[in-house]
Structure 1
């Protein structure tokens, strides 16, 4: 039996992957401690595992003996610690609590999960400090950057997985793989090369519910606004983003008439402004530049230009500042900010906007459901979602992809049986 603790447990995604991996080898598991401070996440955890996690890790001092530590620790900015210690120390961060527990209890192994940006934070110094500190505690350490889309999950989600074994460098056969940069690249590179059979990729269409509830349908008003752009063929929305400061496969607030209907010339002007304001000849600001009337005339010079500009200023699509013009590109609170392409993979789920991902299914425009979010993270349908959709969306957006965790741990268990002290694994598998 492997006893384990589940820190920063969230809704238990890492635990689920760990238990699945151990079950593959016939290994019984026992969770001796779970810790999470988000009360709504704790409610979901209890629904699925029958236990309500302990609270703040800072206040946990008594921990039963355990073999394995699991932690999807938050990536707190290390800037303050860096200013004080030159990244020679991790005190003041939540990672230090993991170090404290590892140092005190010396479990056989651990798995840590985090965002990919931790690897490059502060030019890599933060990550180097973390690895060095783990090694100084007596652990052999390795890490992987893996994309969920390579594990039969239709989501573009790259995460960092750090594994360690006490006194021994882990052997892993998995290799880091960042996958496709976005859903468009995934679709063009994989479908055209017919790689789906080889890798058994899943697509967004594979995780859709057949009869989603009426509450997930977009409002009639929003659908009418979309009709101004695409007519009644809503399936042409596949892969489109609703955003005001980008061109390409995007739909903008002025095209939908969010702040008021626009003429065809006003729409043409705004789209032209979006397409041209990033050009280097106007400057190097990342999100585009405020342009003078003279600069605007270099790409859009029509007889009624001043009237067009003033009308857009009056409606709130354009702002004037020191005789320069810039689109008003705030969050327009679209019901959907991105329509997923059913023949590709999803963008990365996040806790803040998983509830505003859309899909067109049978030419009906709707938001994806919490259950579909759960499937995009590889949770089985037996997993119970929080009864309040608001919390369910947030929790799945903030969770791990269960099959990736499972794959990492299977690899660790399979290739390090002697180091982990589970030499009976071969028999269990056979």
Structure 2
């Protein structure tokens, strides 16, 4: 059976390891992860402890062994919207150059890098161009156009998951000469930015669509959730949801079929005749105030009694006196998925979920009155139910999953790239293409078998 060696940099808990090792039959040459908690979970599940910081592994002498495939979910903070967006000029951004040094010395035939979508955004055009140019200088065929992909665009039979998680994938093939690398490089993304094989992302249902090795829905029955009470809502969170659920119910009883798509802000309920907007108010806010006033004026017969019943929302923090309804015609708030955000209570249909983030914004399942469990979050990232987080605080588990790569998306990108570049890859590593193209198209099939876990090379 064909195989290959892979290096897993900035490895986290091993999303790439699942795709390359357990699914495609690769053997681990080396992993590197500076976060000790993530490294412990990696070792617990993959039976191989990662090395630490990549910098000493690549700068004093090349400690990274020979390999055929390199993966790296390199740090996203320099490019993330939540950071300062200093890009490659920020210290952490220079970790790309440590990856580049490995490419220059070890010349792995296949490279898969992953980062936040913002890396390909308008503020980082120069950074993107620099990364492409340097990889081509190192002899790699790489598309000059970014490939942006999300697991919710992938159907379940290919390992898709109901999560909007747009990430940039940089796929590259070693061809040797920089001139040849530039000549072969495409100017189109590896895959179009849209659903795959006719899949309709609106067909996702987190309570019904079967996913994963066991073909179970994403959401567990409550009886299967360990420490269920830990994920129940707090008293204040329950109060916020109950108050807004009453708001929706009263409007439905009035016969309002569609709630507005703009944020509803109770602090700005004002009759249109009394609305005053100063000259110094920004245009976006003025529009927002006018829409809220018009909505209140039309429905004050429902809104005023609702406000009186709930003490004019004085028991709620200011950020909880806002409702962002994105659930279309869903009848009840309790049929939705919710997120308590600084901007208010955001409400969506229970189709696909937003990207995993910190525990404080973990999705709330309205039908269950609780947050998404760690096991459900792991399923959302494509990890099988045998993948463990033994002895670890939930906050760390959510953080690690939120920082990880989605297994299905990574596997789809790898296979698509190898299918496209099979002949070029065979020039230097024929076993790589054979191993990857002979693996199941659905990574869930391979991940159903814990005995497929790869051993170290």
- Alignment TM-score, normalising by the size of structure 2: 0.64
Matched, 1:357 2:363: yes
> Does structure 1 retain, via aligned residues, the 8 Å contact 2:32–2:51?
yes
Aligned with residue 216 of structure 1, among 231, 242, 256: 231
Q: Which residue of 1 aligns with 2:108?
A: 107
> Does structure 2 retain, via aligned residues, the 8 Å contact 1:42–1:53?
yes
Q: Residue 226 of structure 1 aligns to a residue in which SS?
A: helix
Aligned with residue 418 of structure 1, among 423, 433, 436: 423
Range with greater deviation from structure 2 (222-231 or 140-149): 222-231
Q: Which residue of 2 aligns with 1:42?
A: 39
Distance 1:373 1:146 in 2: 19
How far does the alpha carbon of each residue in 1:189-239 deviate from its partner, in whole angstroms, 9 at most, with x for none? x68xx9xxxxx9979x930011232221113453244323324999x9xxx
Distance 1:119 1:279 in 2: 38
Distance 1:286 1:96 in 2: 41
Aligned with residue 206 of structure 1, among 211, 217, 221: 217
Aligned with residue 57 of structure 1, among 49, 54, 59: 54
Matched, 1:19 2:35: no
> Does structure 2 retain, via aligned residues, the 8 Å contact 1:163–1:170?
no
How far does the alpha carbon of each residue in 1:271-295 deviate from its partner, in whole angstroms, 9 at most, with x for none? 459xx9999976436667999xxxx
Distance 1:382 1:390 in 2: 20
Q: Aligned pair in 2 of structure 1 residues 223, 135: CA closer, same or farther (>3 Å)?
A: same
Aligned with residue 156 of structure 1, among 164, 187, 191: 164
> Does structure 2 retain, via aligned residues, the 8 Å contact 1:144–1:176?
yes
Q: Residue 111 of structure 1 aligns to a residue in which SS?
A: strand
Matched, 1:371 2:381: no
Distance 2:341 2:353 in 1: 20
Q: Which residue of 2 aligns with 1:384?
A: 388
> Does structure 2 retain, via aligned residues, the 8 Å contact 1:354–1:373?
no
How far does the alpha carbon of each residue in 1:372-418 deviate from its partner, in whole angstroms, 9 at most, with x for none? 11111111112113532111111111111110100111122333333
Q: Residue 67 of structure 2 aligns to a residue in which SS?
A: coil
Distance 1:222 1:91 in 2: 37
Matched, 1:400 2:405: yes
Aligned length: 359
Q: Residue 33 of structure 2 aligns to a residue in which SS?
A: coil
**1:145-294 to 2 correspondences below 5 Å:** 145-151=148-154, 152-167=160-175, 169=184, 175-178=191-194, 187=202, 206-210=217-221, 211=223, 212=225, 213-231=228-246, 248=261, 267=266, 269-272=267-270, 283-284=281-282
Q: Aligned pair in 2 of structure 1 residues 407, 317: CA closer, same or farther (>3 Å)?
A: closer
The two structures, once aligned, show a CA RMSD in angstroms of 4.9
Segments of 5+ residues of structure 2 without an aligned counterpart are 80-84, 155-159, 176-180, 252-259, 301-306, 324-338, 440-457
Q: Aligned pair in 2 of structure 1 residues 228, 100: CA closer, same or farther (>3 Å)?
A: same
How far does the alpha carbon of each residue in 1:239-260 deviate from its partner, in whole angstroms, 9 at most, with x for none? xxxxxxxx748687xxxxxxxx
Q: Which residue of 2 aligns with 1:139?
A: 140
How far does the alpha carbon of each residue in 1:36-79 deviate from its partner, in whole angstroms, 9 at most, with x for none? 11111111111111122111111113122111111000134377
Bigger RCO (CA 8 Å, 6+ sep): 2
How far does the alpha carbon of each residue in 1:143-186 deviate from its partner, in whole angstroms, 9 at most, with x for none? 42112101221011111111111116478995131569xxxx96
CA deviation after TM superposition for structure 1 residue 103, in Å: 1.3
Q: Residue 206 of structure 1 aligns to a residue in which SS?
A: coil
